[in-house]
Structure 1
């Protein structure tokens, strides 16, 4: 479990609980609404919306929920969300970046600061940990889409920079500006939407954590992800598989 939160890692930690799934769908809905409001409801001309919908579909979000989220963007009662980014240090000095969509900046900032403090970390200024990460595109496909060699060839042909394949699936990294074009090319080539496709903060030099440090950090990440306004959390950490297995017991 390295660097940033993915849905499969969250599920590995917590199990497929209905409450968590409902919260996940709520976050997807907010991102879809914001994307539609900013770039229009036509997915062909709105790459952000297209990626948000593809990610939601890959996680089995009901079609009606997706359509309501899109329609909400043009409704008279549609909320206005601000995109916020918070940076700080978690337990053990781990750099943490939090991305949020909020209709109340003061509330969200206060909530995030409180979560950091309770977990033994501290919220910093903008840019305080950003230098520890690269901004890149990340595309995730399930393992049954194709084999590792074929994915490697297809991804590089599409313009990707890096491909990682394991038993869980394939993760493709791109330059931030190439994310949408690579997703389109791979989707066309493979005939299937990715499980997720988004811009992420990839740690430059992840810190390997032991079980005690990992437990403290995961407590912070869990608390942040449980906040309704928080969309995604990134950190410059690497938790070995044996440690993750021990924590999951």
Structure 2
């Protein structure tokens, strides 16, 4: 169940810069508010809210911020939000999937389309990219959770489908429908360690190697998309060279 992972590559700059911390908190707060609005403020009775709060805690979001976001959604103080997925292409034919939560579909569509156009990409039709991805559960733990053998054994027993070993983290994958069950089993297996992130993701079936100027353009596109207020997650199929990642920092 081991292999070379692209997790750090795909997550190339998330959390790497202090200036992005506030933006990350804003996205996490938004997801908590939307989850509370759609399913109520009871964390145990609302799976989406439970996951949102879990991820916020993993990012060390203050408890007061989390509670305010829950109260805002449960109290009906937020607008009506819609989850929308956009698909497009970056330099070198790299597939890009953009997940948004918005209260204004026209604004979001315009912003996403413009961002693709200004950063070397182009927006495609729904389904033009996602057929090359699998939607799976992804649970990430710091390496401190245990040695490779014990983590892989725990993952297998929990019902995971794959484990990829990174320098600093373990990335555990699950079938989409088994995601919540496996996440709960892993929480029980590692009671002293909070998962770094727990979410459904779009995992590329194949990666496209990209280097030089096209790689830098792709990084610029991803960063620009992530900076949009309505964007919650961005996934892509680019295997960006280490040189390009270092040059972009």
What TM-score, normalized by structure 2, do the two folds share? Answer: 0.92
- Give the CA deviation at 1:5: 4.4
Provide the alpha-carbon RMSD of the alignment.
1.6
Other-structure match for 2:18: 16
- Give the CA deviation at 1:65: 0.6
Other-structure match for 1:222: 223
- Give the CA deviation at 1:174: 0.3
Change (3 A) 1:41 1:77: closer
Does 2:248 correspond to 1:247? yes
Q: Structure 2 CA distance, aligned partners of 1:9 and 1:187?
A: 27
* Runs of at least 5 residues in structure 2 that lack an aligned partner in the other structure: none
Kept in 2, the 8 Å contact 1:2–1:237? The answer is no
* Runs of at least 5 residues in structure 1 that lack an aligned partner in the other structure: none
Runs of 4+ off more than 4 Å: none
Partner-residue secondary structure (3-state), 2:198 = strand
Q: Structure 2 CA distance, aligned partners of 1:124 and 1:186?
A: 37
What TM-score, normalized by structure 1, do the two folds share? Answer: 0.92
Does 2:76 correspond to 1:87? no
Kept in 2, the 8 Å contact 1:201–1:234? The answer is yes
- Give the CA deviation at 1:45: 2.2
Q: How many residues align?
A: 243
Change (3 A) 1:30 1:5: farther
Q: How does 1:124-139 map to 2 (within 5 A)?
A: 124-139=124-139
Kept in 1, the 8 Å contact 2:216–2:244? The answer is no
- 1, 6, 26: which one aligns with 1:2: 6
Kept in 2, the 8 Å contact 1:5–1:232? The answer is no
